[in-house]
Amino acid sequence: MIRRASLIFTLAILCCISHFRVCAADLRAHTPVNNSSRVALKTNLLYDAVLVPNLGFEYYIYNNFTAYIDLLYAGLEMPSRHFYWNFYGTQFGIRKYFGNASNERNFTGHHLGIYGQMLAYDLQAGNYGQQTPGLNIGTGVEYGYSFPIAPGLNVDLDLGFGYLAGKYYEYIAQDGHNTWLGTVRRAWIGPTKASVSLVWLIKPKQKKFTAR
């Protein structure tokens, strides 16, 4: 069931990328070139939707290569309702943008890359919960497409496949205590990263020259 859901989600992302490629071609024709940006800030709207605030930083290195890091953190606790939504971690990687769009505007167009992940969480809703004793570690390869929606704003669709390893505890809350049910060791191969990100291209300040 999980693998079937992952396949459906993957196909949905790929269909969105194909659709937005056509829309982006029309947008680029009416969007001013902003090729001087070397820094971009972003947030993944999928994480935001599930109450995991996040902030990403991407830096243009050279020849359409970029490096990025994403930070994630959520700390919601309501013990009286047996609700915990604690999640933190980081994702980082290197990308290569390519295609005509990438030459017209930095952080734009198709991109391929490699990435790493470090994640930890304590999630409980009702009486059942899961908690990682430490970090779960992952790595993989990614493909995505970033397109402009305004002179200094992009939307980036991204999907990553890789390996995620670690372990987590399953527990149940009863009589005011958390009772351990078992330890599950994770060795997942498949989709491990997905994003629909809003990207802000920070344009550097123009130097002012004074005539002498």
Q: Which of 22-31, 39-48, 77-86 has the lowest mean pLDDT?
A: 22-31
Residue 207 lies in a domain: no
Distance CA 8, CA 31 (A): 33
CA distances from 4 to 9, 11, 144, 190, 191 (A): 9, 11, 21, 11, 11
| pLDDT of 28 | 46
The parent domain of residue 108 ranges over 2-202
* Three-class DSSP category at 193: strand
Residue 24 has a pLDDT of 46
Position 176 scores a pLDDT of: 73
Report the CATH number that the domain containing residue 161 is assigned in CATH. 2.40.160
pTM: 0.78
Residue 62 lies in a domain: yes
Residue 208 lies in a domain: no
Lowest model confidence (mean pLDDT) among 40-44, 105-109, 187-191, 202-206: 202-206
- pLDDT greater than 90 at residue 171: yes
Rg (CA), the chain: 20
Count: domains in the chain = 1
Mean pLDDT value across residues 45-71: 96
Q: In this structure, is residue 211 part of a structural domain?
A: no
138 with 116: CB under 8 angstroms?
yes
Residue 61, both tokens: 């290195």
Q: What is the pLDDT of residue 8?
A: 47
CB 47 within 8 A of CB 198: no
Residue 207 CA to residue 41 CA, distance in Å, equals 22
Q: Mean pLDDT across the stretch 104-109?
A: 94
Choose between 14 and 157: higher pLDDT.
Answer: 157
> Average pLDDT for residues 105-131, to the nearest whole number?
94
Residue 54 falls inside a structural domain: yes
With respect to residue 158, please indicate whether it lies within any of the assigned structural domains. Answer: yes
Please say if the pLDDT value at position 97 is more than 80.
Answer: yes
Q: How high does pLDDT run on average in the chain? A: 85
195 occurs within a structural domain: yes
- pLDDT at residue number 211: 52
Domain membership flag for residue 22: yes
- Angle CA 151–152–153, to nearest 5: 100
